[in-house]
Chains A and B, each alone.
Chain A
Amino acid sequence: MEFTSVVFYLLSAILLLAGLRVVTARHPVHAALFLVLAFFTAAGLWVLLEAEFLAITLVLVYVGAVMVLFLFVVMMLDINAETMRANFREYLPLAGLISGLIAVESYIVLGGQNFGLAAPVAKAADYSNTKALGRVLYTEYAYAFELAAVILLVAIVAAIALTHRRRPGNKWRDPATQVVVRKEDRLRLVNLKPTRPDTPVEDEA
């Protein structure tokens, strides 16, 4: 067996195991960590496909940012695993149906023969995946790319608008006014003359 095949089967095994543990792990934090492992292993598989730009972006975006925030939220929530499992049997048929549908759909989409795709050919050593992807994104798929960007922008604005509210009584200061404060605005120097009582106090000692 070729070395790349060994790596492929190893990574696939880890990926499947990690994916399984995401849904079976008792503790939500453990599940989130297995999801991180799954993403990282998937990135490894993409490297095998010579898609190094996508692989690194997967790690950068999903492992480095999305899952960090996800883990952050999961750690803050006090999730009781028992109540989450309470209705397991009730939902099992529905979940099975959905999983089956997803599996069939994945088979249709991922089976290349349904799209008339040939097996990918290995690229030359100086082939730059990043450059090729950039060229295609900004020429052939420029409209689709920009549409996706606008949708993401709308999502950002909506998310901020939903969570951003100004509460009354919030102790908020404008840093711009804080930095222009001068010494004279806050400090008054007073020249106090020493005062002397009218009648000198007798020395009681």
Chain B
Amino acid sequence: MDQIQTLLGPAWLPIWTLVKIMAIVLPLLIGVAYLTYAERKIIGYMQVRIGPNRVGPKGWLQPIADALKLMFKEIIIPSGSNKNIFLLAPVLALAPALAAWAVIPFNDTMVLADLDASLLYVMAITSMGVYGVILAGWASNSKYAFLGAMRSAAQIVSYEIAMGFALVGVLMAAQSLNLGDIVRAQAGGFWHWYFLPLFPMFMVYLIAILAETNRSPFDVAEGESEIVAGFHVDYSGMAFAVFFLAEYANMILVSLMTALMFLGGWLSPVPFLPDSLFWLLGKTSFILFLFLWFRATFPRYRYDQIMRLGWKVLIPVSLIWLLVEGAMMQTSLGRFFH
């Protein structure tokens, strides 16, 4: 390795960083592909069906077939649409979904950019994902798409507040905005993880991430029965696939964030097993399974109910728990957080 470093000289750092970025993005894209497969299989079994089982052994190659199909389909640009913004929108959806991964720590040492305020960075970058949705809805020049975009914008902005307050609870407990430090503050076994002392925050966060990623039961932005497919109704081929990629990459990202902030990240739940990346992946998969389970279980919320839940239930709950947590930290009960 040192030999390659001296050989490349000043070009070493950019090349090595690119290699690390590829090491994050490639598994992520494969994860996205197989998350769609898992979704179809799991919901299939929950509905007493088999799910995809034709392409490859037990349907294992289904996501590859889907990706190939989408790549070779024609991208249709509707007449009367705003062409530049129409094509810019999927890019604006995908870019934040990938950029947020730059600061995610995978274990004690594996992190691409160890920012001081990495939690805030993730919040800021993911909050930009909504532009893809709004612009797609607007540029399509279609009423269905526009309705979907408006619903999505209002929903994402509303739930970001509840989500932000839940994160304030975590950073108060960990006394750091650095994701690595937040995980390290939860060391000491499973009863030190923050989902126990911050249980209301954990619940608020779990509900808010469903709304943030436009997933069922809050998927009114694409509500098939009312507005066909919402904001991406006019997209086809690869342009549609990019939206799809962004949605699933965001799902994986928020699940991983939940695992990092409330479930101890890469820390092992019991002292006799070593901490490792696999714990993090396992916890993330569990949250992802919850996403799919919810989709198979709950009917879609009505739009006004979503707004009521966000503003009148989740925000007060998280605000009250912030007060309780602050008071607890001033007393001897504060040891729950350290």
Binds B, one of A60-68, A144-152, A181-189: A60-68
Smallest CB–CB gap between B209 and chain A, Å?
A: 16
Q: Which residues of A contact B308 (CB under 8 A)?
A: 175
What's the nearest-Cβ distance from chain A to residue B163, in Å?
A: 11
Q: How far is the CA of A68 from the CA of B123 in the complex (A)?
A: 15
The segment from A49-57, A83-91, A101-109 found at the interface with B is A49-57
Please measure, in the bound complex, the distance between the C-alpha atom of A68 and the C-alpha atom of B127, giving whole angstroms. Answer: 10
Given known A52-B115, A129-B116, contact A68–B134 (CB-CB < 8 A): yes
A130 interface residue, CB < 8 Å from B? yes
* B 305-330 binary contact with A (CB < 8 Å = 1; else 0): 10010000000000000000000000
Tell me if A75 is interfacial: C-beta within 8 Å of chain B. Answer: yes
Tell me whether B117 and A130 are in contact (CB under 8 A).
yes
Cα distance A29–B135 in the bound complex, in angstroms: 9
Question: Does B247 interact with chain A (Cβ within 8 Å)?
Answer: no
Task: Mark B71-113 against chain A: 1 for CB-CB distance below 8 A, else 0.
Answer: 0000000000000010000000000000000000000000000
Residue of A nearest to B116 (CB): A128
Name the contact of A56 in the complex, choosing from B120, B131, B135, B153 (C-beta under 8 A): B120
How many residues on the A side are at the interface (Cβ–Cβ under 8 A)? 22
Q: Is the CB of A130 within 8 A of B116?
A: yes
Q: A29-B138, A63-B127, A68-B131 are in contact. Are A57 and B120 (CB under 8 A)?
A: yes
Residues of A within 8 Å of B121, CB to CB, are 56
Q: Is B70 an interface residue (CB 8 A)?
A: no
Is A52 within 8 A of B131, CB to CB?
A: no
If the complex has contacts A59-B125, A69-B157, are A36 and B116 also in contact, measured as CB distance less than 8 A? no
* B134 contacts across to A, CB distance below 8 A: 68, 71-72, 75
**A residues 39-59 touching B (CB-CB < 8 Å):** 52-53, 56-57, 59
- List B132-180 residues whose CB lies under 8 Å from chain A: 134-135, 138, 146, 150, 153-154, 156-157, 160, 177
Residues from chain A with Cβ under 8 Å of B156 in the complex: 68
CB contacts under 8 Å to B, within A120-166, are: 128-130
With A56-B124, A75-B138, A130-B177 in contact, is A64–B117 under 8 Å at CB?
no
| In the assembled complex, B130 has its CB within 8 A of some CB on chain A | yes
Q: From B175, which residue of chain A is reached at the shortest CB distance? A: A131
Residues of chain B within 8 A of A59, CB atoms compared: 124-125, 127-128
Q: How far is the CA of A175 from the CA of B306 in the complex (A)?
A: 12
Whole-angstrom distance from the CB of A201 to the nearest CB of chain B?
46
Q: Which of B123, B124, B160 has the most CB of A within 10 A?
A: B124
Chain A residues with CB under 8 Å of B116's CB are 52, 128-130
Nearest B residue to A58, CB-CB? B124
- In the complex, residue of chain A having the shortest beta-carbon distance to the beta carbon of B121: A56
Output the nearest chain A residue to B161 by Cβ-Cβ distance.
A65
Check A72 against B153 for contact (C-beta < 8 Å): yes
Give the complex CA separation of A53 and B134 in angstroms. Answer: 27
- Chain B residue numbers with a CB within 8 Å of A68 are 130-131, 134, 153, 156-157
> For the complex, what is the distance from the CA of A65 to the CA of B134, rounded to whole Å?
13
Assess whether A60 is in contact with B130, with CB atoms less than 8 Å apart: no
**Alpha-carbon distance between A128 and B115 when the two chains are bound, in angstroms:** 10
A36–B116 alpha-carbon span in the complex (Å): 25
User: What CA separation (Å) do A29 and B131 show in the bound complex?
Assistant: 12
Q: Which residues of B contact A36 (CB under 8 A)?
A: 131
Over the window 9-44 of chain A, the binary record of Cβ atoms lying under 8 Å from chain B Cβ atoms (1 yes, 0 no) is 000000000000000000001000100100000000
B176: shortest Cβ distance to chain A, in Å?
Answer: 9
User: Which residues of chain A have C-beta atoms less than 8 A from B123's C-beta?
Assistant: 56, 60, 64
Shortest CB distance A31–B (Å): 13
- 1/0 contact string of A70-84 vs chain B (CB within 8 Å): 011001100000000
Cα distance A175–B123 in the bound complex, in angstroms? 31
Chain B minimum-CB-distance residue to A172: B304
Q: Which residue of A lies closest to B139 (CB)?
A: A29
In Å, the complex CA distance between A112 and B312 comes to 46
Decide yes or no: A64 and B127 within 8 Å by CB, A52-B116, A56-B121, A130-B117 being known contacts.
yes
Residues of chain B within 8 A of A56, CB atoms compared: 117, 120-121, 123-124
Apart from A52-B115, A64-B124, A75-B138, what 9 extra A-B contacts exist at CB < 8 Å? A53-B117, A56-B120, A57-B124, A60-B120, A72-B134, A72-B153, A75-B134, A75-B146, A130-B116
Residues of A within 8 A of B (CB): 29, 33, 36, 52-53, 56-57, 59-60, 63-65, 68-69, 71-72, 75-76, 128-130, 175
What are 14 sample pairs from A and B whose C-beta atoms fall under 8 A apart?
A: A29-B85, A33-B85, A36-B131, A52-B116, A53-B120, A56-B120, A56-B123, A57-B124, A64-B123, A64-B124, A64-B160, A68-B156, A75-B146, A130-B177
